[in-house]
Structure 1
Amino acid sequence: MTAGKLPERSGDPTAGAAPAGARPPAGRAPGDGLDARLVVDRGSFRLDVRLRAAPGDVIALLGPNGAGKSTALRALAGLAPLTDGHLRLDGRDLRDAPPEDRPVGVVFQDYLLFPHLTALDNVAFGPRCRGAGKAEARALAAAWLDRMGLAGHAGAKPRRLSGGQAQRVALARALATRPRLLLLDEPLAALDARTRLEVRAELRRHLAAFEAVAVLVTHDPLDAMVLADRLVVVEEGRTVQEGTPSDIARHPRSEYIARLVGLNLYRGRAEGHTVRLAGGPAVATDEQLTGAAFVAFPPSAVTLHAERPGGSSARNLWRCEVVGLEVHGDRVRADLTGDLSLAADLTTVAAAELGLRPGAPVWAAVKATQTHAYPA
């Protein structure tokens, strides 16, 4: 879907485009960008999420299945009516605007290219809907395909395109109408691992040059970390954390986020160098805090022992039992329960030497220097 009645533009798709990595000039009006509070009631589910972004910003919505990410995207596109809240784009109130009257471009998860149209005519579709003549729309589409490195595939229909090529055609179609808001719904999910790596880098380059606001929905933390300037983590229809990728990776505030960034995370009460967990053991840490706190450590910081270690320098030691094992190349992820539920990473050789299997008893140790505590 592409939508929007925009001011007439030059047929050059690069006209007014910023160089890669650039941000819009400081002289933009204060109202430019996205200012939204999306409230959508759908049966027993309620979405209530606030989004703000300046032109040039890329926001990633992250969250588990059913969190409300796709509902938020549909509300921005005008496909799901707001129950409450507001939606302003560049100062214009879009709450009651129909989808076709919004300056919005969408790249769907499955791209939804028209199977009977060539790549050129797929891209020309948006400008034609906006009122451009056939020749003008096709010239604009040809320029966009050239920019995407697809000039040689202009006459190909979607079934003849690879996944990466189809993704770039869908992106060109979304950008050809000069949207002020670009929505990307799991844009890399349909690609195989090798193609995904290539296309992710290309998409980052195009988003860096995009002067308006982009909102990305993804389940993949790597996509979010690479493509977005800011992450908004949504769980059960609410924002649970918002910040830069590095801030969220260092200070996760929910179990879902901790799993995404590969950390064991616990909440408790700090007393000096100790965080006492509710209904669990105490965790020693190098940080000195008082009050409600999170404490986290990576699975790689955990060492496992078949017997209680004597003379260990680790100040954290828990008796556990193996409940699951996952092999990833030459590494094994062990899920443990017992004094503390946690994940531990070790080599396949170490796992074999310990005789790890579901139900096996182990001792888990973590040095205080490898934990990180911060206020809750």
Structure 2
Amino acid sequence: MKDAEMTGTEKTHAEKATARPATGSSAPAAEGLDARLVVERGAFRLDVALTAAPGDVVALLGPNGAGKTTALRALAGLVPLTDGHLRLDGAPLDRTPPESRPVGVVFQDYLLFPHLTALDNVAFGPRCHGAGKAEARAQAAEWLDRMGLAAHAGAKPRRLSGGQAQRVALARALATRPRLLLLDEPLAALDARTRLDVRAQLRRHLAEFEAVAVLVTHDPLDAMVLADRLVVVEEGRIVQEGTPSDIARHPRTDYIAHLVGLNLYRGRADGHAVHVDAGPVITTTEDLAGPVFVAFPPSAVTLHRERPTASSARNLWQCEVAGLETHGDQIRADLSGELPLAADLTTVAAAELGLHPGAVVWATVKAAQTHAYPA
């Protein structure tokens, strides 16, 4: 594979961006994926346009019921399109049966054959594509070696750890040399410790993959680490897409803001003042006019039990503690009031402030810690 031959190291997102032209839903490529997926199921309607060049890794993010898994199944041919189109490397796949598509799928529960060894699980794909038994097993052995699983070739799935089973499933999908690789929550079944190791390995394999990969996940960290481009789907439609850094810095819906850990508000800017819809004014460093979003992290919020008189912060609001929960090694306070927001503080600070549901506090945020951008 191209990276293994060149350096043997992982590509960063920046390196991958310079290695090939960027793509978006408005610029279909002759090679790669060009799809508009329209699926109607009862009252639900999915209408999502996706394009990707060979080598791209695209992550579909969205809340439960948003339609991301339906989109993945439509790409695989497991759900028929109601309308739209699906082309891969310029060839239409709309009416091609699933087993005849150049598509590899890694399901959330891996779906390994329990009665077959790891080697024969991986060989199953090449056998289905016409390879003889010896040839298929030779290809499977090569893939298991690439995955670091050569020593487990004779093991059946029940003898494999979760991380090993995930890599066998990935090897089985890649052994057919698909032009489209689909991954449905590929790390969801792993414990936290295993997830870190397997995520790093999966990133390396995806960086080496020369065709299109589409990843469905609910985990923003998986998406940020593994994907070149994020496509966020809510209620069956795309609400935002872009690079991981752009999505993280410029969320456009409450769901995305929650994913990336930001307080987000919409309002109208008049210079450095943003009049929040049905809320107070937020002072920012940006000088804008018209509809905007304003975002700032919970860590930017400082809480006081009395109204501060010596604070340099330009933003000050009275709030009430609606709830407290552990968030990593900190306490997250959910605050209600004229500007509902989340604030992060240390356990010691929360204790010193005597925080509890119903407590009245004053929240301050410096203008320099906010970020405003056009809506």
Give the aligned partner of residue 259 of structure 2.
260
Q: Is contact 1:18-1:209 (8 Å) kept?
A: no
CA distance in 2, matches of 1:189, 1:118: 23
Unaligned runs of 5+ in 2: 22-27
CA distance in 2, matches of 1:354, 1:30: 57
Indicate whether 1:225 and 2:235 are aligned.
Answer: no
How far residue 152 of structure 1 moved from its aligned partner, in angstroms, is 0.5
CA distance in 1, matches of 2:96, 2:3: 26
Q: Is contact 1:18-1:211 (8 Å) kept?
A: no
Give the aligned partner of residue 343 of structure 1.
342
Q: Is contact 2:273-2:281 (8 Å) kept?
A: yes
CA distance in 2, matches of 1:84, 1:139: 41
1:135 aligned partner, one-letter code = A
How far residue 110 of structure 1 moved from its aligned partner, in angstroms, is 0.8
How far residue 18 of structure 1 moved from its aligned partner, in angstroms, is 6.4
Q: Is contact 2:59-2:230 (8 Å) kept?
A: yes
Give the aligned partner of residue 34 of structure 2.
35
How far residue 311 of structure 1 moved from its aligned partner, in angstroms, is 2.4
Q: Deviations over 1:68-107 (max 9, x none)?
A: 0000000000000001111000000001111011000000
Q: Secondary structure at the match of 1:38?
A: strand
CA distance in 2, matches of 1:244, 1:337: 32
Give the aligned partner of residue 5 of structure 1.
none
Give the aligned partner of residue 7 of structure 1.
none
Q: Deviations over 1:41-78 (max 9, x none)?
A: 01000000010000000000001110000000000000
Which aligned pairs between 1:55-204 and structure 2 lie closer than 5 A? 55-204=54-203
Distance 1:318 1:15, change over 3 A: closer
Q: Secondary structure at the match of 1:259?
A: helix
How far residue 330 of structure 1 moved from its aligned partner, in angstroms, is 3.4
Distance 1:293 1:157, change over 3 A: same
* TM-score (normalizing by structure 1): 0.93
2:106 aligned partner, one-letter code = V
Q: Is contact 1:77-1:104 (8 Å) kept?
A: yes
How far residue 329 of structure 1 moved from its aligned partner, in angstroms, is 4.7
CA distance in 2, matches of 1:126, 1:295: 50
CA distance in 1, matches of 2:226, 2:159: 28
Distance 1:129 1:15, change over 3 A: farther
Q: Is contact 1:18-1:210 (8 Å) kept?
A: no
Q: Deviations over 1:110-155 (max 9, x none)?
A: 1110111110010001111111111111111011101111000001
CA distance in 2, matches of 1:292, 1:336: 25
CA distance in 2, matches of 1:15, 1:115: 33
Indicate whether 1:303 and 2:302 are aligned.
Answer: yes
Give the aligned partner of residue 373 of structure 2.
374
Q: Secondary structure at the match of 1:168?
A: helix
Distance 1:16 1:204, change over 3 A: closer
Q: Secondary structure at the match of 2:64?
A: coil
Q: Is contact 2:3-2:207 (8 Å) kept?
A: no
How far residue 312 of structure 1 moved from its aligned partner, in angstroms, is 1.6
CA distance in 2, matches of 1:276, 1:252: 18
CA distance in 1, matches of 2:44, 2:318: 40
Q: Secondary structure at the match of 2:183?
A: strand
How far residue 310 of structure 1 moved from its aligned partner, in angstroms, is 1.0
Q: Secondary structure at the match of 1:291?
A: strand
CA distance in 2, matches of 1:211, 1:339: 51
Q: Deviations over 1:334-355 (max 9, x none)?
A: 0000011100000100100111
* TM-score (normalizing by structure 2): 0.94
Which aligned pairs between 1:236-315 and structure 2 lie closer than 5 A? 236-315=235-314
Q: Is contact 1:287-1:372 (8 Å) kept?
A: yes
How far residue 241 of structure 1 moved from its aligned partner, in angstroms, is 0.4
Q: Secondary structure at the match of 2:286?
A: strand
1:237 aligned partner, one-letter code = G
Identity of aligned residues (%): 81
Q: Deviations over 1:234-275 (max 9, x none)?
A: 000010000000011111100111111110000000000011
How far residue 365 of structure 1 moved from its aligned partner, in angstroms, is 0.7
1:131 aligned partner, one-letter code = G
1:334 aligned partner, one-letter code = A
Q: Deviations over 1:214-245 (max 9, x none)?
A: 00000111110110000000000010000000
